[in-house]
Structure 1
Amino acid sequence: MYSMQNLFTIHFWGVRGSIASPGPETVRYGGNTPCVEMRVGGERLIFDGGTGLRVLGQSLLSQMPVEANMFFTHSHWDHIQGFPFFVPAFIKGNRFNIYGVVSPNGATIEERLRDQMLHPNFPVPLQVMGADLNFCDLQVGEKVQIGEVIIENALLNHPGEAVGYRINWRGCSAAYVTDTEHYPDKLDENVLWLARNADVLIIDSAYTDEEYHSARSSKVGWGHSTWEEAVKVAKAANVKKLVIFHHDPLHNDDFLDRVGTDAVKKFPDTIMAREGLSIQLVPPLTPIPEVLPEAGVSAL
């Protein structure tokens, strides 16, 4: 038997990109925007605060008091819009360490989360939140160690900048790589570095190649990638399991079923992210610590 201290569990609370898209055609995969919870060696890590964060918050109300570490990839609306509705943050006795890279204009993650809650955008300011909120500014490429867990980040190719994260623990690893756009003539070195030999790669696959290159409505320059490019990354980085993530709001359940079928043909261990999905990693009995390379990550 394994206790929570010896498990690495990934749970998906929001998997949709750009804008929440609830309705009868998105029931099976879900319509909430990005939020992924990881329980790693007894630590609770939360990646992004889209509308899925509100749902996660409701589930945590039965587990008070709560302590968690929240990592934001960037502050585009679909990745932060659940934060003002995250009920545990309003409850005294809870504690959240909140991490984010300083934006190109110098704004910290605290400033960006605070600003979205200012009048006239929102009726209740961040200062009303009763939990202990500890804001931590990250540098691109900086490592964070929480207990035995090491979290790395690298810059992604996205308008306004975003970072991806890699989570390492006792020989297990998962990469959370959203939002990012592939390059036309090469694989992104930063993405490959984050994904290197990962047990799980969660990656932006918003479009199909056909949609991305559409003559009528091209998605080039929009900051997102395709599932076909995700497969290329998974193969090149020797990834064990590929998770197609950040579904376009126009892609209904049947469309995503077809993407999943096509992706499995090219990379058999592929799954489609959906709300409620859990993935469990179990470390080897005698883990060999990974030597984490310092080089290979570009900040450009």
Structure 2
Amino acid sequence: MSNIDDRFEIKFWGVRGSIPCPGTETVRYGGNTSCVEMRVGKERLIFDGGTGLRILGQSMLSEMPLMAHLFFTHSHWDHIQGFPFFIPAFIKGNKFNIYGLPAPNGATIKQRLHDQMLHPNFPVPLQIMQANLEFYDIEAEGKITIGDVIITTGKLNHPGEALGYRVSWKGSTAVYITDTEHFPDRLDENVLRLAQDADVLIIDTTYTDEEYYQKGSSKVGWGHSTWQEAVKIAKAVNVKNLVLFHHDPAHNDDCLDRIGEQAISVFPNTVLAKEGLIIKLKHPLS
């Protein structure tokens, strides 16, 4: 039997961008917004607090007391709107370290999470949360060490700024890159650096090329990329497994099936993120 503290496991709790989209046409992939959990050795890492964080929080209640690290890419609504409904944060005895890049206007991640819970937006303030919440402002190009896990950050091309994260442990690497928009004439050096030789690359593929460049309704400048650009990144830096993420709420299950088929035809080791998907990395140095 394997030791649960000797694992690198990724689980998807929310895979959508922009707005939750529950309904009969999004059952297979899910309608919750961004939230990805990584169990890495002894550490529990959570990336983004979209509505998927609420579901994750419910699943954690049987494991208290809890200790986890919560990393935000940025504070657009679809990445923070689950935080006020994260039940473990309201329970004394739990501890969460919370990380984020200060906004261009200087607002810290603590301030932004606090502000979304003020009247008239929310009935109770952040201060009602009884867990031990420690907030950390991090750098756009830096490293964070948690035990024997190394998290490298990189700035992404997104309105208002966003961070990508590279998680390395015992020779294995998973990369979380959302939200980001590709450049028209080159591959993004920050994205390439973060994704180099990754075992798993989870990346923003909100649009198809056809949608992104569509005349009259172009998505250029909206801060998101396409699955075709993700494939270019994966091929350029020797990514082993590509995970398409941050699905457009307008893309129903059948649409995502078609995108998956097209992506796999040009990069076979591709999967589409869906709620409940678990990816287990085998680390060579164990």
TM-score, normalised relative to structure 2: 0.99
Aligned position for 1:50: 50
Deviations 1:255-297 (A, max 9, x none): 000000000001000000000000001211x46xxxxxxxxxx
Would the aligned equivalents of 1:205 and 1:245 in 2 still touch at CA under 8 Å? Answer: yes
1:101-112 aligned within 5 A: 101-112=101-112
Amino acid at match of 1:58: Q
Amino acid at match of 1:24: T
SS in 1 for 2:5: helix
1:26 aligns with 2:26: yes
Aligned position for 1:232: 232
SS in 1 for 2:113: helix
Q: CA deviation at 1:216?
A: 2.5
Deviations 1:115-134 (A, max 9, x none): 00000110010000000000
Aligned position for 2:123: 123
1:152-191 aligned within 5 A: 152-191=152-191
Q: CA deviation at 1:142?
A: 1.7
1:52-71 aligned within 5 A: 52-71=52-71
In structure 2, C-alpha distance between the alignment counterparts of 1:5 and 1:64, rounded to whole Å: 17
Aligned position for 1:209: 209
In structure 2, C-alpha distance between the alignment counterparts of 1:138 and 1:148, rounded to whole Å: 19
Deviations 1:236-270 (A, max 9, x none): 01000000000000000000000000000010000
Name the count of aligned residue pairs.
286
Amino acid at match of 1:233: I
Amino acid at match of 1:114: H
Amino acid at match of 1:263: A
TM-score, normalised relative to structure 1: 0.95
Aligned position for 1:220: 220
Give 4+ residue runs of structure 1 displaced > 2 Å after superposition: none
Aligned position for 2:245: 245
Aligned position for 2:85: 85
Deviations 1:34-69 (A, max 9, x none): 000000011000000000000000000111111000
In structure 1, C-alpha distance between the alignment counterparts of 2:2 and 2:201, rounded to whole Å: 23
Q: CA deviation at 1:106?
A: 0.3
Deviations 1:174-204 (A, max 9, x none): 1100000000000000000010000000000
In structure 2, C-alpha distance between the alignment counterparts of 1:266 and 1:193, rounded to whole Å: 22
Aligned position for 1:76: 76
Aligned position for 1:149: 149
Amino acid at match of 1:74: H
RMSD (Å), alpha carbons: 0.7
Amino acid at match of 2:68: A
Q: CA deviation at 1:158?
A: 0.2
In structure 2, C-alpha distance between the alignment counterparts of 1:183 and 1:251, rounded to whole Å: 23
Aligned position for 1:95: 95
Would the aligned equivalents of 1:6 and 1:283 in 2 still touch at CA under 8 Å? Answer: no
Q: CA deviation at 1:4?
A: 1.7
Q: CA deviation at 1:2?
A: 2.1
Gaps of at least 5 residues in structure 2 are none
Aligned position for 2:113: 113
Aligned position for 2:138: 138
In structure 2, C-alpha distance between the alignment counterparts of 1:4 and 1:146, rounded to whole Å: 17
Amino acid at match of 1:191: V
Aligned position for 1:295: none
In structure 2, C-alpha distance between the alignment counterparts of 1:154 and 1:171, rounded to whole Å: 20
Would the aligned equivalents of 1:6 and 1:282 in 2 still touch at CA under 8 Å? Answer: no
Gaps of at least 5 residues in structure 1 are 288-300
Aligned position for 2:200: 200
SS in 2 for 1:4: coil
% same residue: 70
SS in 2 for 1:153: strand
Aligned position for 2:274: 274
